[in-house]
Structure 1
Amino acid sequence: MKATEVPAIDGAYLFEPTPYADERGFFCRTFDADVVRSVGLDPNVFVQDSVSRSVQGVLRGLHLRSGAGEAKLVRCSYGKIFDVVVDLRTDSPTHRNRAFFELSGQTQVTLYIPAGCAHGFQALTETADISYRIDRPHDPAEDTTIAFDDPELAIPWPLPVTLMSKADRAAPSLAEVLKHKEG
């Protein structure tokens, strides 16, 4: 497994495993504490693992956590997704940068997203399973959502949106979220 910095988002990394494939299928390590440590992250801070399943066209996000934020490891374990990260850390050299990734069950690449960044994705395949590992217990009271179609972000979602949660559909603009965050 190797770790690669994401230039557009300071502190973000892609962890790329080496799948071993044969006629039976494949095997690969999806988490390695030593590799995580090698880029200055503490592997022991991750306290919850979750998985979501989405059907093609479903869009989830853009999600952000208030308070201390939330660092996470995200991996598409089955299918394929278009993944988006937006850096909203005011002290970051990549503040307001966006980065786009295609994560898939074929590669099993894991994306590390630093606390203070918004995250969202769209399922590109009939079924997509996404695994999350977060660095502090989830508290729904801290959930913040930003409009997926905010013109300031101009995210090039690859498919028409087929389904979204009511909260994601009604999310405020980036400007409104930042105004509330600062005020």
Structure 2
Amino acid sequence: MRIEPSRLAGVAVFVPDPHRDERGLFTRTFDAAIFDDWLGVPGAAATFVQDSQSRSGRGVIRGLHGRRGRGEAKLVRCANGAVHDVLVDARPGSATFGQHESFLLDDNDFRHLYVPPGLLHGFQALTRTADVCYRIDRGHDPAEDVAVAHDDPDLAIRWPLPVTVISERDTTAGSWAGLITQLH
């Protein structure tokens, strides 16, 4: 497994090396020792407490979601299909605050993202179905949820497909400017 840097501070792309043969493939999707070594914190992998999975149809957008307080760290990967994954740095004081970056996550190369606390996360399904898996370091507390509209003009994120479905929560999500005032 190799690790590719992102232009967003603290974000990394973990790239497994699938073994493919006539049966199909086998790949390691997580390795605690590699993760701990990259982060430079022995035992950091053990802080993950929850695994979740979502399934979405082509064109569906989920996000942009984040957490107040100390935030949450997560590993995100697409186990089936493909997604256009987007991160927005919402950490005041970060060198990349307010910037976003997009990543292709799919079931071909099994890349997955380490998303440090303080970033907003969202994705759009690119295939008929897309299963996204999340490994999270904190239990969910709805009182800490924050959301910014996927089409916020200040962020100007380009989504590759027309939106087919979006939740009511995401339809009524706040603005980037509104979130900034809450962060300071």
Provide the residue aligned with 2:77 in structure 1: 75
4+ runs of 1 displaced by more than 3 Å?
Answer: none
Aligned amino acid, residue 30 of structure 1: T
Which stretch of the first structure deviates more once superposed, 173-182 or 14-23?
A: 173-182
Picking from 112, 115, 119, the partner of 2:114 is 112
Cα RMSD, aligned residues only = 0.9
Provide the residue aligned with 1:62 in structure 2: 64
Aligned amino acid, residue 13 of structure 2: L
Shift of 1:27: 0.6
Provide the residue aligned with 1:91 in structure 2: 93
User: What residue ranges of structure 2 are gaps of 5+ in the alignment?
Assistant: none
Aligned amino acid, residue 5 of structure 2: E
Shift of 1:64: 0.8
Q: Secondary structure at the match of 2:33?
A: helix
What is the count of residue pairs matched by the alignment?
181
What is the TM-score with the length of structure 2 in the denominator? 0.96
Aligned amino acid, residue 54 of structure 1: S
2:61–2:123 Cα contact (<8 Å) kept = yes
Which stretch of the first structure deviates more once superposed, 54-63 or 38-47?
A: 38-47
Shift of 1:3: 1.4
Q: Secondary structure at the match of 1:176?
A: helix
Shift of 1:62: 0.2
Provide the residue aligned with 1:180 in structure 2: 182
What is the TM-score with the length of structure 1 in the denominator? 0.96
1:1-183 to 2 correspondences below 5 Å: 1-6=1-6, 8-40=7-39, 41=41, 42-182=44-184
- How far does the alpha carbon of each residue in 1:73-126 deviate from its partner, in whole angstroms, 9 at most, with x for none? 000000000000000111211111111001001111110011000000000000
2:92–2:183 Cα contact (<8 Å) kept = no
Aligned amino acid, residue 16 of structure 1: V
Shift of 1:170: 0.6
Aligned amino acid, residue 44 of structure 1: A
User: What residue ranges of structure 1 are gaps of 5+ in the alignment?
Assistant: none
Percent of paired sites with the same residue: 51
